[in-house]
Structure 1
Amino acid sequence: MTSAAAAAARGASAPAAGNGLIYLMGPSGSGKDSLLRVLRDRLGGNDRVLVAQRYITRPSSADEASVAITPAEFEHRAAQGGFALHWRSHGLHYGIGTELDDWLAQGCCVVVNGSREHLARAHARYPALHAVQVSVRPQVLGQRLRLRGREDEQAIVRRLQRAGEPFAVPAGCRLSVIDNSGALEDAANALLRLTHQALPHC
């Protein structure tokens, strides 16, 4: 079997049930990347709790655990079975590499920066995952979006409306909510506790 075929076969194989997988979600501006950065700092040398890198078809910032990749490279990697999870949002492609399955099989807790719209597909592949929604009060979210200066006011209003919309949670999917309206350290502590709870079940 060629290396490309092996990769495709691996990507198509049945993954672990998802014990130990924390699927983090939240609207743009909720602070997911900052939360994961603090979590990585808190973990230190703990090699049983890992934050998965995302592949994104745009330049990544210093806060992100992500790898910038061109759309052509993304499509090629997806075709070869190189992603355990991948989705499209706001005109961009996002993917999580198949190392996710290896880490779960080794008994690790893995935190993935995911998408609310992709939750159903992620849960179908990993039915034991723990979905975690990062919430922020609308007033605080609006302040954060304006401070980062990426979008005009109309775009910010659309993001605030979208952030308040309900999203579908699959039947049987475990869901927790972390409020990140206050101190980032408090939300990071809450996420760290969830990773510790996940470890005995890995």
Structure 2
Amino acid sequence: MPDLAPASTAPEPQSGALIVILGPSGAGKDTLLDWVSARMVGDPSVLFVRRVVTRPSQAGGEVHDSFSNAEFDRALDEGRFCFSWAANGMRYGLPRNMADHLAGGGLAVVNGSRGAFAAMRQVFGQARAVEITADRETLKARLLARRRESAAEIEARLDRAAALCAEVEPDLRIDNSGSLDAAGRTLADFLAGCRAVKR
């Protein structure tokens, strides 16, 4: 499987904006998205997208729909994704309803990937990148606490993440090293501004 294999079957141009959340492991993307989505519940103009991932649901991290590779292939054949890609040995799919929401002028927020962002921007013309960061020591401490990788593997992961940072110039960069409330308010304000523009 190639490391990156973006594919799209988006049916029509999108008038809404897609907000793609980027950042290295340990930056707190999922925690931040949970904080913001809990405060925007009930607003039908904003869709927090639930991805399909070929990873067991009990593996931790983001809430996602877990597919086997065979199930993922079947969903692709049936046109159930509006965008998909592969990275780090896993495959990711964005559901068709995201494209429908954007076509209706809504705002969609998705946990994305730096490697797939350029292709996302080609498909979803109004895609904007928000990079969630944290200082290296904070990232290292969070990754060590997960106990999924050795110290050497974590150092290598952090080096790769630093190199990837230069590949995308985000529309907004949020430092999530400190207060979750502060970082959450910054992201919520950005989304509110994007939503106001679309209305």
- Structure 1: 5+ residue runs without aligned partners? 1-9
For 2:182, the equivalent position in structure 1 comes to: 186
Amino acid of the structure 1 residue aligned with 2:26? G
For 2:75, the equivalent position in structure 1 comes to: 77
How many residues align structurally?
189
Percent of pairs with identical residues: 34
What does 1:1-202 correspond to in 2, within 5 Å? 11=9, 13-16=11-14, 19-60=16-57, 64-165=62-163, 166-169=165-168, 175-202=171-198
Amino acid of the structure 2 residue aligned with 1:86? S
Tell me the SS of whatever aligns to 1:140: helix
Quote how far apart the aligned CAs of 1:151 are: 0.9
Quote how far apart the aligned CAs of 1:44 are: 2.5
Is 2:48–2:109's contact at 8 Å kept on the other side of the alignment?
yes
Is 1:37–1:64's contact at 8 Å kept on the other side of the alignment?
no
Tell me the SS of whatever aligns to 1:117: helix
Tell me the SS of whatever aligns to 1:21: strand
Distance 2:171 2:126 in 1: 11
Quote how far apart the aligned CAs of 1:145 are: 0.4
Distance 1:38 1:97 in 2: 22
- Structure 2: 5+ residue runs without aligned partners? 1-7
Amino acid of the structure 2 residue aligned with 1:101? A
Is 2:131–2:170's contact at 8 Å kept on the other side of the alignment?
no
Distance 2:77 2:181 in 1: 39
Tell me the SS of whatever aligns to 2:9: helix
Amino acid of the structure 1 residue aligned with 2:55? R
Quote how far apart the aligned CAs of 1:200 are: 2.6
Distance 1:57 1:91 in 2: 9
> Closer, same or farther in 2 for the Cα pair 1:138/1:168, shift >3 Å?
same
TM-score by length of 2: 0.87
